[in-house]
Amino acid sequence: MSELPAGFSGRPVRPEEDLGDLVELLNAVAVADHGVADVDERTVRGAYALPAFHPETDSWIVHDADGRVAGLADHYDGDELHVAPYLFMRVRPDLADTPLTDALLRQALARAMETVDLAPPDARVALRTDVAGTNRPVVAALERNGWHHDRTNWVMEIDLAAAAPIPEPAWAPGIRVRTADLERDARAIHAADADAFSDHYGFVPQPFEEWMHFRTSFVRAEPELWFLAMDGDEIAGFAICSSERPGQPDLGWVSILGVRRPWRRRGIALALLHHAFRELIARGKPRAGLGVDSESLTGATRLYQRAGMRAVRESYEYERVVREGRDLRTVELSAG
- H/E stretch holding 19 reads helix 19-34
What is the reported pTM? 0.94
The yes-or-no verdict on residue 197 having pLDDT over 60 is yes
**How does residue 219 score in pLDDT terms, banded at 50, 70 and 90?**
confident
Q: What CATH superfamily is the domain 156-315?
A: Gcn5-related N-acetyltransferase (GNAT) (3.40.630.30)
How does pLDDT run across 222-271, given as a tens digit for each residue?
Answer: 999 999 999 999 999 999 999 999 889 999 999 999 999 999 999 999 99
Q: What size, in residues, is the chain?
A: 336
Crossing angle of helices 208-217/41-48, nearest 10°? 170
Domain positions in the chain are 9-146, 156-315
Distance CA 114, CA 2 (A): 13
Distance CA 264, CA 248 (A): 32
Question: Cα angle vertex 302, ends 214, 138, to 5°?
Answer: 55
**How does residue 1 score in pLDDT terms, banded at 50, 70 and 90?**
low
Nearest to 276 by CA among 230, 250, 241, 228: 241
Question: Cα angle vertex 236, ends 193, 280, to 5°?
Answer: 80
- H/E stretch holding 144 reads helix 136-144
Nearest to 323 by CA among 89, 88, 84, 141: 84
Nearest to 149 by CA among 294, 297, 311: 294
Q: What is the pLDDT of residue 97?
A: 98
Instruction: Say whether 321 sits in a helix, a strand or coil.
Output: strand
The yes-or-no verdict on residue 336 having pLDDT over 80 is no
Nearest to 59 by CA among 86, 24, 98, 96: 86
- Cα–Cα distance list, 272 to 122, 215, 239, 258 (Å): 40, 19, 6, 9
Q: Do domains 9-146 and 156-315 have the same CATH topology?
A: yes
CATH 3.40.630.30 fits 9-146, yes or no: yes
Find how far residue 26's CA is from the centre of its chain: 15
